Amino acid sequence: MTTSTTSKSKKTAVKSPAGKAAPAKRASNRAKPSAASAVSLHGIEPYTEKKNEEYMGEAQRAHFKKILFAWKHELMEEVDRTVSHMKDEAANFPDPADRATQEEEFSLELRTRDRERKLIKKIDKTLLRLEDDDYGFCDQCGIEIGIRRLEARPTADLCVDCKTLDEIREKQISGG
């Protein structure tokens, strides 16, 4: 094997001995995992439907309850981390620019936590719907929302079609 270096690019090129071709590169199968092997929300595997299984039966409801509780737990941990971080980082900087930077960081952090607080409320509302056997069905038209959509967005309360129409109406009203 010989090695040559070009001065312009400073890359080292490795040549194969004469008569032997370099092995062809194969596309990695790991690049796109199949839906069945992909990890879903919060480390929980995607639901595998059984043959002739009733939509939103006991097993499916238990699966989504597990996802929602895991998600809520993650959000609550993040809130706790934020509180301790803000206590640890709180300092009275003598420099006004440093103080302003810290206040801006805290402001952004608090805005993020406020959005997460609203999301926790939505998760709680969704958990109540699960208990009332109302989960997984569109609020507007009543059809099944679908397992894959619910795994992508466990708090969804509209099917794809109704959500699309809702977004179109919203664009028309806002003039966008």
The total number of structural domains in the chain stands at 2
Instruction: Judge if 171 and 131 occupy the same domain.
Output: no
Task: Read off the CATH number of the domain in which 74 is found.
Answer: 1.20.120.910
Annotated binding-site residue? 159: yes
Same domain, 128 and 113: yes
Is 114 found in the same domain as 76?
A: yes
The residues pairing with 15 across neighbouring beta strands, listed in sequence order, are: 2
Residue 141 labelled as part of a binding site: yes
Same domain, 70 and 131: yes
**pLDDT of the chain along its 176 residues, tens only?**
444 444 444 444 444 444 444 444 444 443 444 444 344 566 788 888 888 899 999 999 999 999 999 999 999 998 888 888 777 777 777 888 888 888 898 899 889 999 999 999 999 999 999 999 999 999 999 999 999 999 999 999 999 999 999 999 999 998 76
Instruction: Output the pLDDT for position 12.
Output: 43
Structural domain of residue 156, as residue ranges? 137-175
Do residues 144 and 91 both lie within one domain? Answer: no
**130 and 152 together in one domain:** no
The answer to whether 157 is annotated as binding is no
- pLDDT score at 176: 63
- Considering the domain architecture, whether residues 62 and 129 belong to the same structural domain is answered as yes
